[in-house]
Structure 1
Amino acid sequence: MSTARPALPQREPATDLPESVTIYEVGPRDGLQNEKTVVPVEVKAEFVRRLAAAGLETIETTSFVPPSWVPQLADARELLADLGDVGRGARRPVLVPNERGLDDALAAGVGAVAVFGSATETFARKNLNRTVAESVEMFRPVVRRAKDSGLWVRAYVSMCFGDPWEGPVPVEQVADVAVRLMELGADQLSLGDTIGTGTTGHVSRLLDELDARGIGADRIGVHFHDTYGQALANTMTALRHGVRVVDASTGGLGGCPYAKSATGNLATEDLVWALDGAGVATGVDLAALVETSVWMAERLGRPSPSRVVKALAGGD
């Protein structure tokens, strides 16, 4: 697979979108966590460095979970040691499931952490072996200790737009869990469309409900999977509602090890192309990003699913 210098989209500024958007890059953690073949730690470290060099300021690097849960991320300590300062700071969050994970993260010198909750009872049981209420209580000391240590904290809520076991998830149920997590003291809430079933009207309804509950768009990030091809449309809807943080994965990598119907995340390249064309600043060098996606695809042994990468890099 060979790369070509990407053309840029024709820029026609959109008046209903923000001037700038922060891309919360999840490729190294959410993107790689479901890979069957273990990716060498030196490849992961180079991936993070390339992403940072392409202009992505916020990069979720890894997760401090038991190796039996997610074997792909068992090298978290080694990865952060390899990265050094590139892997630390408030713009390099790591996922932690509990206090033990937080202990490991603090020992590694991280500056930001994320906890991962669920809007549904079934997924809470499958992911954390706890009820929703029990998981919130498990996160309470994690968030408190993290904040006491000067860390930035994000709270994920998964299954916000549908659950493969429970089906449709009431908007009010999602909002209830979101409020409980944010009351713990988290700085940012990420709304996860874990199986990619969300639609634009659903996104609008949930954001309106959260705003009515006191969680404004300025405290929210959105995390859409592209299982049904809706990720970019849902993202643009969220931006029109005032959201300024979008989760994306370079090359469209990703899935969920506990929800088999979940396919890849919104591809960072597809998002950057759309925002560039709308005159929205991201700070990301699209050419460098495409080159990085091609590089990682070669190491994974398969082409990137990103439409923009395929178009610009000449992939099939």
Structure 2
Amino acid sequence: MRKPQRATVDGLPERVTIYEVGPRDGLQNEDAIVDVAVKAEFVRRLAGAGLTTIETTSFVHPQWVPQLADAAELLKLIELPDAVRAPVLVPNERGLDRALEAGVREIAIFASGTETFAQKNLNSTLDDQFAMFTPTVERALAAGLAVRGYVSMCYGDPWEGDVPVGQVVAVTKRLADLGCHELSLGDTIGVATPGQVVDLISGLQKAGVGVDQLAVHFHDTYGQALANTLTALREGVTVVDSSAGGLGGCPYAESATGNLATEDLVWQLDGLGIETGVDLEKLVATSVWMSKQLGKPAASRVVQALAG
């Protein structure tokens, strides 16, 4: 299989952690319910390709995301090495209860950076969403769980348009103050460009949120995900969210297309000499296998090029 020629560039990290979201964020937008055994095999194959952080599912109410109604069953089917982290998304305290019952050791919560999306996705206001998060995070931390905080609509909102940097900084800072160990900045509808990425990271640093706490989560709606990721790496970010095969979107934002494809990310990072621990050939094979299960081709350009 062809591999990228390595040519390093100054000012980039030596290693990047890939936070794989395919099993959760990738599959949640699929109309046809994927069998739980297929999901479990997907997770195992991703781990076999060298991914060490795999967000497996969400304990959201089945009414809202039917695709993930099998969360507890899925976790029972998955046996992963101790070195592989398997966080899950929880929307509230009830979701946390279910996660704790399943023996989960790491969770993520999902905040909105805009008023309208908070109403549509969380049935809350921008400010009141924290009344829901606070007891969930406090209980999770008390139980010894690590907590990641997602912030959605960081750069643009389909209803509100441009999103003020200060507004996103305020939401992110509140999540950090709650005790979230990692903060993922989401370009939910894929409209960001590199200058916006620099502005937001700079704004967060001025507010006292260290770049070592940050992760980036880009969608590729306008073809900017890799450029934005490289910009974030230049700013010191070392954790990048991506989805095998480019699976995913957002069920509450119709203009949100697929996530940054993990294969496309690994190709770029391999070419830059940045270590990820991921075997690209095994990863491509995994996405080819998954695309057959879903009955549609993988969106990843690297998968298309290497497996076409």
TM tier relative to shorter chain? over 0.9
CA distance in structure 2 between the aligned counterparts of 1:200 and 1:12, rounded to whole angstroms: 22
Q: Choose the corresponding residue for 1:80, options 75, 83, 87.
A: 75
The aligned residue for residue 62 of structure 2 is 67
Deviation (angstroms), 1:301: 0.5
Does the 8 Å contact 1:162/1:169 carry over to 2? Answer: yes
Deviation (angstroms), 1:88: 7.9
The aligned residue for residue 3 of structure 1 is none
Query: Deviations 1:58-77 (Å, cap 9, x if unpaired)?
Result: 00000000001100000001
TM-score between the two structures when normalised by the length of structure 1: 0.96
Change (3 A) 1:17 1:89: closer
Unaligned runs of 5+ in 2: none
Q: How many pairs align?
A: 308
Q: Describe the SS at the equivalent of 1:183.
A: helix
2:292 maps to 1:298: yes
Does the 8 Å contact 1:88/1:111 carry over to 2? Answer: no
Q: Choose the corresponding residue for 1:8, options 3, 12, 31.
A: 3
Does the 8 Å contact 1:50/1:292 carry over to 2? Answer: yes
Q: Choose the corresponding residue for 1:103, options 72, 76, 97.
A: 97
Q: CA RMSD in A?
A: 1.1
Q: Choose the corresponding residue for 1:19, options 14, 19, 27.
A: 14
CA distance in structure 2 between the aligned counterparts of 1:87 and 1:293, rounded to whole angstroms: 21
Q: Choose the corresponding residue for 1:35, options 30, 35, 48.
A: 30
Q: Choose the corresponding residue for 1:242, options 233, 236, 254.
A: 236
Change (3 A) 1:263 1:88: farther
Q: Describe the SS at the equivalent of 2:121.
A: helix
Code of the aligned partner of 1:134:
D
Deviation (angstroms), 1:7: 1.1
Q: Describe the SS at the equivalent of 1:86.
A: coil
Q: Describe the SS at the equivalent of 1:195.
A: coil
2:112 maps to 1:118: yes
2:213 maps to 1:224: no
Does the 8 Å contact 2:52/2:84 carry over to 1? Answer: no
Deviation (angstroms), 1:181: 1.2
CA distance in structure 2 between the aligned counterparts of 1:147 and 1:211, rounded to whole angstroms: 24
CA distance in structure 2 between the aligned counterparts of 1:209 and 1:175, rounded to whole angstroms: 7
The aligned residue for residue 58 of structure 1 is 53
CA distance in structure 1 between the aligned counterparts of 2:143 and 2:55, rounded to whole angstroms: 19
Change (3 A) 1:244 1:190: same
Does the 8 Å contact 1:90/1:112 carry over to 2? Answer: no
Q: Percent identity?
A: 67
After TM superposition, where is structure 1 displaced by more than 4 Å over at least 4 residues in a row?
87-90
CA distance in structure 2 between the aligned counterparts of 1:72 and 1:271, rounded to whole angstroms: 26
Equivalent residues in 2 for 1:212-291, closer than 5 Å: 212-291=206-285
Does the 8 Å contact 1:80/1:87 carry over to 2? Answer: no
Deviation (angstroms), 1:217: 1.0
CA distance in structure 2 between the aligned counterparts of 1:309 and 1:168, rounded to whole angstroms: 33
Query: Deviations 1:228-284 (Å, cap 9, x if unpaired)?
Result: 000000000000000000000000000000000000000000000000000000000
Change (3 A) 1:281 1:31: same
2:164 maps to 1:193: no
2:154 maps to 1:163: no
Deviation (angstroms), 1:86: 2.0
Does the 8 Å contact 1:61/1:87 carry over to 2? Answer: no
Code of the aligned partner of 1:147:
L
Unaligned runs of 5+ in 1: 1-5
